[in-house]
Amino acid sequence: MKLIAKTLFGLEKVLSDELRSLGAVNIAIANRAVIFEGNTGMLYRANYCTRTALSVLMQVKEFRIRTKEDLYTTCKSIQWENFMHSKSTFSITAVVNSPLFNHSGYAGLTLKDSIADRFREKTGIRPSVNTANPDINVNLHISGVNVTVSLNSSGDPLFKRGYRQAFAEAPLNESLAAGMLLISGWNGTEPLIDPMCGSGTIPVEAALIARKIPPGRFRKSFGFQKWNNYDSNLFQQIKQECEAGIVDLKVRISGSDIAQEAVNNSIINIRNAGLENDIAVETADFNDITAPDNKGTLMINPPYGLRLNPADIDSLYAQTGTRLKHGFEGYTAWILSSNREALKRIGLKPSEKHVLMNGANECMFLKYDLYHGSQKNRNSIQS
Ligand SMILES: C[S@@+](CC[C@H](N)C(=O)[O-])C[C@H]1O[C@@H](n2cnc3c(N)ncnc32)[C@H](O)[C@@H]1O
């Protein structure tokens, strides 16, 4: 089967690595997506185990059209009864860029009619459309004369793991937090600290990675479970295989935040993920924190200053830089922020730069090597 895993901009490479390690073949990186091949087990595994996929689509048909009618005729010939029945509800997501259609809505309507008409002719019943909570979500992609019809096997986006129920200020998308950790190369063999942890997304995703806990474990359901050809025995077997790989945590993972409410939210989310014995959180100003270990990884997603005045945000970033230099020697620090001016106030030269999208905000994800003693000079202070 040809499968397409969608992701966030900048996470394509780490997602392709995840899929390869799960057994995907013929992997190709696309824009905000990874295309690959695999069997039904691979489809279930990609949904249950990948940390950076937002959804996994299964291609049903790829074809070319010369007229609008071609779309209707070919879509009607698809054996929809393999996936749904006449009482299933369905929705269409259409992305269309073609001279044959002025409007994505019209192309989507054509696909909807072709499905409904096929069932009416075969069973006398037309399945109903439900855009809010459909049993089956069909994706239509038309580029010029090239059409791809796919099924969304995930249902709700995969970043909605299910453990995060409490959050206040600008929580990170769970898939983005996992992607940041995977880009950093952190793999649970050295301590990790997030001293601006907000609702705790980075520490929780870190503990899931370190303990090899599949992120799908917390979800109530996946889209493919409503398909007619759903193989529940196979899915149970895959879940058991994945859960058998879970290990104990070997390093310290900690978080802190200046806001008591954020720490309270973290505690709720950590508990929801069953990680209360793995992650320690406390209320503290980053300026008062000293490194809990000789070496480790520090990862923060500080406020971007969208709601703070520029002087305050500059001083927050300058203080953060000072604390990194004088309190975290021996560590590797990673900072995600959309505020490029404020990032200059950190006063350290990054050794790696990545561009990631956090919602609509284009962010820099920067690495700083905080050397001990004389090696510190290698980390030249910016003018
Ligand atoms: C963008 S939020 C982090 C969101 C978090 N990554 C999440 O997923 O929920 C930034 C956090 O930095 C915290 N913060 C700001 N200044 C701080 C300081 N000096 N020390 C510790 N935390 C601070 C804020 O309270 C806020 O929770």
Together in a domain, 188 and 273: yes
Together in a domain, 74 and 139: yes
- Residue 310: how many other CB atoms lie within 10 Å: 11
pLDDT for 372: 74
Residue 42's closest CA among 59, 56, 61, 22?
Answer: 22
The domain of 312 spans 174-214+226-378
Together in a domain, 189 and 138: no
Residue located nearest, by CA, to atom 27 of ligand 1: 198
Select from 118, 152, 186 the last residue of a domain. 152
Which is the closest atom of ligand 1 to the Cα of 201?
A: 8
What's the CA-to-centroid distance between 265 and ligand 1, angstroms? 12
Tell me whether residue 262 is in a domain. Answer: yes
Tell me whether residue 260 is in a domain. Answer: yes
Query: What's the CA gap between 68 and 97, in Å, rounded?
Result: 13
Residue located nearest, by CA, to atom 12 of ligand 1: 196
Which is the closest atom of ligand 1 to the Cα of 300?
A: 6
Query: What's the CA gap between 203 and 96, in Å, rounded?
Result: 39
Q: Which of 163, 258, 270 to mutate to test the pocket of ligand 1 (most atoms within 8 A of CB)?
A: 258
What's the CA-to-centroid distance between 197 and ligand 1, angstroms? 6
Together in a domain, 93 and 206: no
Together in a domain, 181 and 143: no
What's the CA-to-centroid distance between 360 and ligand 1, angstroms? 19
Total of domains in the chain: 2
Together in a domain, 118 and 182: no
Together in a domain, 101 and 247: no
What does pTM read for this prediction? 0.94
Together in a domain, 246 and 362: yes
Phi and psi for 15 in degrees, rounded to 5?
-65, -40
Q: Which of 165, 169, 266 to mutate to test the pocket of ligand 1 (most atoms within 8 A of CB)?
A: 169
What's the CA-to-centroid distance between 2 and ligand 1, angstroms? 41
Together in a domain, 118 and 190: no
What's the CA-to-centroid distance between 191 and ligand 1, angstroms? 20
Which is the closest atom of ligand 1 to the Cα of 262?
A: 27
Together in a domain, 135 and 239: no
Per the CB < 8 A criterion, the answer to whether 222 and 216 are in contact is yes
Query: What's the CA gap between 244 and 335, in Å, rounded?
Result: 33
Together in a domain, 57 and 201: no
Residue 25, domain CATH: 3.30.2130.30
Tell me whether residue 8 is in a domain. Answer: yes
Together in a domain, 115 and 191: no
What's the CA-to-centroid distance between 303 and ligand 1, angstroms? 6
pLDDT for 308: 64
Per-residue pLDDT of the chain (383 residues; tens, 9 = 90+): 999 999 999 999 999 999 999 999 999 999 999 999 999 999 999 999 999 999 999 999 999 999 999 999 999 999 999 999 999 999 999 999 999 998 889 999 999 999 999 999 999 999 999 998 999 999 999 999 999 999 999 999 999 999 998 877 789 999 999 999 999 999 999 999 999 999 999 999 999 999 999 999 999 999 999 999 999 999 999 999 999 999 999 999 999 999 999 999 999 999 999 999 999 999 999 999 999 999 999 999 999 987 767 678 999 999 999 999 999 999 999 999 999 999 999 999 999 999 999 999 999 999 999 987 644 445 444 43
Q: What are the tens digits of pLDDT across the range 130-146?
A: 998 999 999 999 999 99
Which is the closest atom of ligand 1 to the Cα of 194?
A: 6
Contacts of 111 (CB under 8 A, 6+ apart): 71, 75, 92, 94, 138, 140, 149
Query: What's the CA gap between 235 and 242, in Å, rounded?
Result: 11
To which residue do tokens 């106030």 refer? 345
Tell me whether residue 104 is in a domain. Answer: yes
Tell me whether residue 303 is in a domain. Answer: yes
Tell me whether residue 160 is in a domain. Answer: no
Q: Cα(first)–Cα(last) distance of the chain, in Å?
A: 54
Residue 253, domain CATH: 3.40.50.150
Per the CB < 8 A criterion, the answer to whether 135 and 89 are in contact is yes
Ligand 1, pocket residues at CB < 6 Å:
167, 169-172, 195-199, 201-202, 257-259, 262, 285-287, 301-303, 316
To which residue do tokens 């962010």 refer? 363
Angle at 195 between CA 194 and CA 198, to 5 degrees: 80
What's the CA-to-centroid distance between 106 and ligand 1, angstroms? 45
Tell me whether residue 274 is in a domain. Answer: yes
What's the CA-to-centroid distance between 111 and ligand 1, angstroms? 46
Tell me whether residue 167 is in a domain. Answer: no
Tokens of 318: 């300058």
Hey, which bits of the chain come out as E strands? 2-6, 25-30, 33-37, 55-64, 89-97, 128-129, 136-143, 146-152, 192-194, 253-257, 279-283, 296-300, 331-337, 352-358, 361-369
